[in-house]
Structure 1
Amino acid sequence: MKSLKITSLVAAAAVTISAFSLPASAADRVYKLKMAETWSSNFPIFGDAPRNMARIAESMSNGRLKITIDSSNKHKAPLGIFDMVRSGQYDMGHSASYYWKGKVPNTLYFTTMPFGMTTPEQYGWFYHGGGMELMQKTYQPLGLESYPGGNTGNQMGGWFQKEINGLEDLKGLKMRIPGFAGEVLAKLGAKPTNIASGELYTALERRTIDALEWVGPSLDLRMGFHKIAPYYYTGWHEPATELQFLVNARAMKKLPEDLREILRVSMKLASYDMYIQSYHESAENWVTMKTEYPNVEVKTFPKEVLAAMKKANDELLAEKAAADPLAKEILDSQAEYMEKVRVWTNISDRAYLDSIDSLDK
């Protein structure tokens, strides 16, 4: 599944955008943007999202907006997207906001949070609950604009060389895990690190790390982790992992208003399409994994481990909020929205699944 059939959506957006009046010279001019992505060339799903976006933007603009994409094997800096876009070396980037927490700590909250919102809940927060405004408030002082860039859905908790039976098993555990979840595990004695995707298999195989989390069946199967780590844990840390389209604000301002709107619509469409694609591929690959690799043991972390993770998470959130007014504003907004929306999730999706499951028991 490479892309969503969006003809009707594009047509509807084009009608809206046609309301912008353009001088004849502007209507004929072609604008070109350069994008850098964290992912290697031909990387599925993650790499499909920016290409979908570029294709949609060019089609909706009748060829007036063209976006070229450089993969990490060309620009050689998979975790350098933030700096390259901010400096103007590239006009746009496709990556994940939580990769920049070492540069601007408040950026990490816009990817996902442990024990946080599911994907539909998080999209509701972004587009209707004030999330987009808070994201721009974080990025605009840096000369950047940030937009949702595609969601993986709930991610698996990772591949482990050894079974996790209690808190002691986390002590000294070397694990590739980015974002806030890494801070949670560090508080419990683990040694989190972040490694680019192309280096993950080798690091796990050579025991440079003891465990890693990547995404889920949609992408993990092709990475081959099941060949070298027998334990596959369910998730807690990234219930709605949103990638990111990062845009240089100066580059955005150079576009006429109709192309700015086309770009925003294209990013939004491509992001939702990636969520659908990721969900589909996870379902397909899960069947393959269980059929062809039956020795993989799917585990859930023990209750005492999850409880300790949740306690550490809550303590860290309180520390972040106390130390930074903007962090407090973001975290309060997320907490308030989740408290409200989770009531509906429980009486809709959760109640439906529980009632249907009960019929089979």
Structure 2
Amino acid sequence: MTLQKLSKLVAVATLTVSTFAASYSVAADGKVYRLKMAETWNANFPIFGDAPREMARLAEEMSDGRLQITIDSANKHKAPFGVFDMVRSGQYDLGHSASYYWKGKVPNTLYFTTMPFGMTTPEQYGWFYYGGGQALSDKVYSPFGLRSFPGGNTGNQMGGWFQKEINSVDDLQGLKMRIPGFAGEVLAKLGASPTNIPSGELFTALERRTIDALEWVGPSLDLRMGFHKIAPYYYTGWHEPATELQFLVNERSFKRLPADLQTILRSAMKLSAYDMYIQSYHESAENWATMKKEFPNIEVKTFPDDVMKAMYKANEELLAEKAAADPLAKEILDSQAEYMAKARVWTNISDRAYLDSLDNLAD
């Protein structure tokens, strides 16, 4: 080995040791960073509330106690739909909610939760993490000093609980329904009256006929809410094929964290978000079996073809209007459409072809 090569190796080794020592010094400084999170859900709300608590647990464990997160539920801070403003102002460092709840404040936020007739959960995760979704989310949220990250997915949601059957497009006229996001705009275009109501008020609103119908999630959460007792018609989905909650992060709070804790926080959010998807899938499977066995009076319905076609047409028209009115909306919608077109080919070749082949075997 030449003296020149030996000198280079020593230099590299010295730099590596110095870098490790500096990192260890930061990690061992003993300082505890405490963050506060506001969630849209009430205390002990299952699945949705499990995700932020799992995130906080992981962050504390991975940081050896240096990163501690306390969570205030909606019944404490009293503002389930105020999370955006509370995190933006710095009253809270973090939030757990759903991006489409903020469409009245920032219209382009609604595209990051789910879209009618849109991507499935794996497709949506692929778009967000590898297809440009994160960069577009940053474009929307950064002007407000915020960042948004995936906060847990429900998978494909059911189309809702109805007190009366939907047999034609005419049955949507004047229908008062709790349904947020872009789907609410689609139904409004067809004559319905959409509204958004916090989870804790849903049963009472349906029972008192303040609303005629509602969509919440699916068997994973719907069954325990008791909607089947007052609305026997349970429709399959179209509006939220992959509903992603969000971790909302105050940018100033995030930048105050050392680099290693920033990485730990992001890792904890990502892992707990995916875990919520798995938990939701499991609970839906379990509760669907319970529902079919214990509540046979629930009538599972699919919207008639003419209703589905009308909703699809209204959706396409609204997408075109949004894209024409706002360049950033167009950029987001074009990105989603291009990615879905590419990913759906693989979805059809893999999952759909496999499931279809099993159906043929059963026949």
Give the TM-score, by structure 1 length: 0.94
CA offsets, 1:303-359, max 9 Å, x none? 000000000000000000001010000000000000000000001000000100111
Aligned to 2:299: 297
- 1:273 to 1:20, Cα distance in 2 relative to 1, 3 A: farther
Given candidates 162, 166, 190, the residue that maps to 1:164 is 166
Q: Gaps spanning 5+ residues in structure 2: where? A: 1-19
Aligned to 1:205: 207
The answer to whether structure 1 residue 277 and structure 2 residue 279 are counterparts is yes
Aligned to 2:186: 184
Aligned to 1:333: 335
Q: Is this contact kept in 1: 2:322–2:330, CA < 8 A? A: yes
CA offsets, 1:58-100, max 9 Å, x none? 0000000000000001000111100100011100000000000
Give the counterpart letter for 1:281 in structure 2: E
- 1:169 to 1:139, Cα distance in 2 relative to 1, 3 A: same
The answer to whether structure 1 residue 87 and structure 2 residue 89 are counterparts is yes
CA-CA distance at 1:222 after TM superposition: 0.5
CA-CA distance at 1:360 after TM superposition: 1.1
Aligned to 2:232: 230
Given candidates 320, 341, 351, the residue that maps to 1:318 is 320
Distance across 2 between alignment mates of 1:265 and 1:330: 25
Instruction: State the secondary structure of the residue aligned to 1:141.
Output: helix
Distance across 2 between alignment mates of 1:24 and 1:70: 29
Give the TM-score, by structure 2 length: 0.93
Q: Gaps spanning 5+ residues in structure 1: where? A: 1-17
The answer to whether structure 1 residue 27 and structure 2 residue 29 are counterparts is yes
CA offsets, 1:39-63, max 9 Å, x none? 0001000000000000000000000
Distance across 1 between alignment mates of 2:126 and 2:279: 19
- 1:353 to 1:40, Cα distance in 2 relative to 1, 3 A: same
Question: Which structure 2 residues correspond to residues 243-258 of structure 1 after superposition, within 5 A?
Answer: 243-258=245-260
Q: Is this contact kept in 2: 1:20–1:258, CA < 8 A? A: no
CA offsets, 1:173-196, max 9 Å, x none? 000000000000000000000000
Flag as ranges the 4+ runs of structure 1 deviating above 6 A.
Answer: none
The answer to whether structure 1 residue 46 and structure 2 residue 48 are counterparts is yes
- 1:175 to 1:28, Cα distance in 2 relative to 1, 3 A: same
- 1:161 to 1:106, Cα distance in 2 relative to 1, 3 A: same
Percent of counterpart pairs with the same letter? 81
Give the counterpart letter for 1:284 in structure 2: E
CA offsets, 1:124-152, max 9 Å, x none? 00011000110011101110010000000
Give the counterpart letter for 2:25 in structure 1: P
Given candidates 88, 104, 107, the residue that maps to 1:105 is 107
- 1:288 to 1:22, Cα distance in 2 relative to 1, 3 A: same
Instruction: State the secondary structure of the residue aligned to 2:23.
Output: coil
Distance across 1 between alignment mates of 2:362 and 2:343: 29
Give the counterpart letter for 1:178 in structure 2: P
CA-CA distance at 1:20 after TM superposition: 7.4
Aligned to 2:354: 352
Distance across 1 between alignment mates of 2:117 and 2:22: 43
Aligned to 2:8: none
Distance across 1 between alignment mates of 2:355 and 2:27: 56
Q: Is this contact kept in 2: 1:35–1:92, CA < 8 A? A: yes
